[in-house]
A and B are shown apart, each in its own frame.
Chain A
Amino acid sequence: MTPSPMDPRPSAKKNRIDSLAATAGGGTATAVKDVHVSAAGKVGDTGGVSLIASAWARLRRNPVFLLGAAITLVFVVLALVAPWIAPHDASKRIPELLDDLRPGAIPGPRDGFPLGSDEFGRDLLSRLLVGARQTLIVGVFATIFGLTGGLVLGTLAGALGGWVDSVVMRVVDVMLSIPSLLLAVSIAALAPRPSQWTVIIAIATVQVPIFARLLRGSMLAQRSSDHVLAARALGVKPQAIIFRHMLPNSLGPVIVQSTLVLATSIIDAAGLSFLGLGNSDDRQPEWGQMLGEAQRLIQDYPHLAFYPAICIIIVALGFTLMGESLREALDPKSRR
């Protein structure tokens, strides 16, 4: 039940990031087209088949993507509407369940409570639904913060090069050499009082070096590209070259990575909560935290652990399937 296995070989992780970065290189601006077309949003009318259109055509017929997208959609919708569709208040102990709750006997499924009670007499189904919302918040914010940090560091390293690049990348290498969950645990443990936000910050910090390395790799490829040379030949200022010419063309792999990171940060958040480093206030349920509480009772009531665990697995699977098929669709090399 421990989340994400620790990566035994950090160098393998680096190589993976670099090879992903290479998909954005030089002439293969495929992934990139996606960015601008969606940003412009008015390309379709000119008749040409843009690369995002052909990627979408492939994705639409890809059952793996459809499954992943369906899971993700259901999860996001449930998370958004959770407080309204939850049959009971997730933070309140329900008198009907409390009546049957005594040491050594947790009420099982019954009318109005399809999944039964948790150990404190609260409705398990409602807690799972509301927990989806917390999980989504952690996943999305951890990804956004990690992406932001990675963008800043990766842009610095890739654009300036020289000693800035060396310093940033050595720091990134050191961070990558520590297994990600271990690093997240260490950072979360530094916080004086565990909360949802310490979890988010800890996970975001772990993602920063991955994004930074990825972006730096594709920025380097851009730096020696023809259109950057052409821009320099026009006397375009360095800032404009970095932010208008290099950065937008380097974002493709980073965007793909973000969807994958959504999955890992949900798993990692569950892991931190499970280890007691998450939000200790159980009035705001979160899947990892529910899992952590259930472990004491796993001998007698395995279903208390089973439900949050299966939720985590399915949601992480959904994001991963979606991210992987997105990467395949945008990577010209894996086109079949």
Chain B
Amino acid sequence: MTSTSTSPSTHPHGRTGSSEPLLSVRDLRVTFQRQGQEPFEAVQGVSFDVHPGQTVGLVGESGCGKSVTSLAIMGLLPARGNRVSGTVSYDGTDLLTLSDQQMRDKRGKDIAMVFQDPLSSLNPVIPIGLQVTEVLERHRGMSRKAATPVARDLLDRVGIPDPDRRLTDYPHQLSGGMRQRALIAIALACQPRLLIADEPTTALDVTIQAQILALLKELVQDTGTALVMITHDLGVVAGLCDEVNVLYGGRIVERGERHELFAQPRHPYTHGLLASIPRLDAPRGQRLTPIPGSVADNLPWTHACAFAPRCSQPIEVCTRVMPELVPHEGRPLRCHNPVEESR
């Protein structure tokens, strides 16, 4: 919400479908297997494309599988107890078939990631500067001495004041916003073509959130980096993403270009998410309309719509037949009874 109100005039360049996708995720499934327990499928066949320079949002509430999706793309899920299937093709290579060694060479160099909590994502015992040079040494084969001025420039680039001094500072000496800037600098150190941001602003206060989002937007536009934005915050999506995928219960329920999606949410879940956001133009004293229930109420996707128990307008078929992700008025939607009225 912050981002919408602070930067309503800037628009990211939508370049949807203009070229070969940089990242193409097809039928990604992640199953958690625990001994003596039923396997749990956290991601149930997610497919989406990210084109070079494009910003794609993965939106959903806690437990919808968005973070697991990102970890699966990065190959960061522990091998034990997790089964990942489908294809994640990056620039023509299927990342899921790569060896650990090959994947390590790609991570940080071709694909980088920014995590949610900037303090715990930085190593507390190493100065910031060394954490930046570490990536440069690793992927660009630079010496620490050669990498230090580069690291300094990177910190400067992400808007950290007095970068020379900050190089020798430890993470706990930086403010939350500075830490997240440092993490972004580390992620972008090797100029990856794809950046995955997993709730990069959740741990920050609202004013800093807006700054970080503006910074991400600027960097992504300047460098032509594709960005996958994982968030539960529709305000973030509205300010940043070209295309939005709404996830529910491990599946994509609706996909659309950001303006279309916000103007005309078709899925009752998307509609509910938007309706539960406080609006500046709403009459004073008006109550928010939350989505009732929680993810725990989900029905299994196999023979129903998982969202049906919480839906505002379920029909009889919703609890019997799984809706498919099919184009509805030009954009993919997984719903038997779409919302028709316009907001």
Contact = CB atoms under 8 A, between A and B. Distances in A.
Contact of B120 (A26, A32, A33, A235): A26
Contacts of A231: 123, 134
B143 to A, nearest CB: 15
A226 B173 contact: no
Interface residues of A, number: 32
A33 to B, nearest CB: 6
A234 B112 contact: yes
The A interface is mostly helix, strand or loop, or mixed, namely helix
B76 interface: yes
B108 interface: yes
Interface in B167-182: 168-170, 172-173
Given A233-B108, A235-B104, A226 B115 contact: yes
A50 B127 CA distance: 14
Interface in A212-233: 225-227, 229-233
Interface in A25-79: 26-27, 29, 32-33, 35-37, 40, 42-43, 46, 48, 50-51
Contact of A235 (B105, B115, B117, B123): B105
Contacts of B117: 226
Nearest to B109: A235
Nearest to B104: A235
B281 to A, nearest CB: 39
Interface string A236-275: 1100100011001100000000000000000000000000
Given A232-B76, A235-B107, A236-B138, A46 B173 contact: yes
Given A50-B172, A229-B121, A234-B135, 18 more contacts: A29-B125, A33-B170, A36-B126, A36-B170, A40-B127, A46-B169, A227-B122, A227-B123, A230-B115, A230-B121, A232-B76, A233-B107, A234-B134, A234-B138, A235-B108, A235-B135, A240-B134, A249-B125
Interface of A: 26-27, 29, 32-33, 35-37, 40, 42-43, 46, 48, 50-51, 225-227, 229-237, 240, 244-245, 248-249
24 contacts: A29-B124, A33-B124, A37-B170, A40-B127, A40-B170, A43-B170, A46-B165, A46-B169, A226-B115, A227-B121, A229-B76, A229-B121, A230-B122, A231-B134, A233-B108, A234-B108, A234-B112, A235-B104, A235-B105, A235-B106, A236-B135, A237-B104, A248-B125, A249-B125
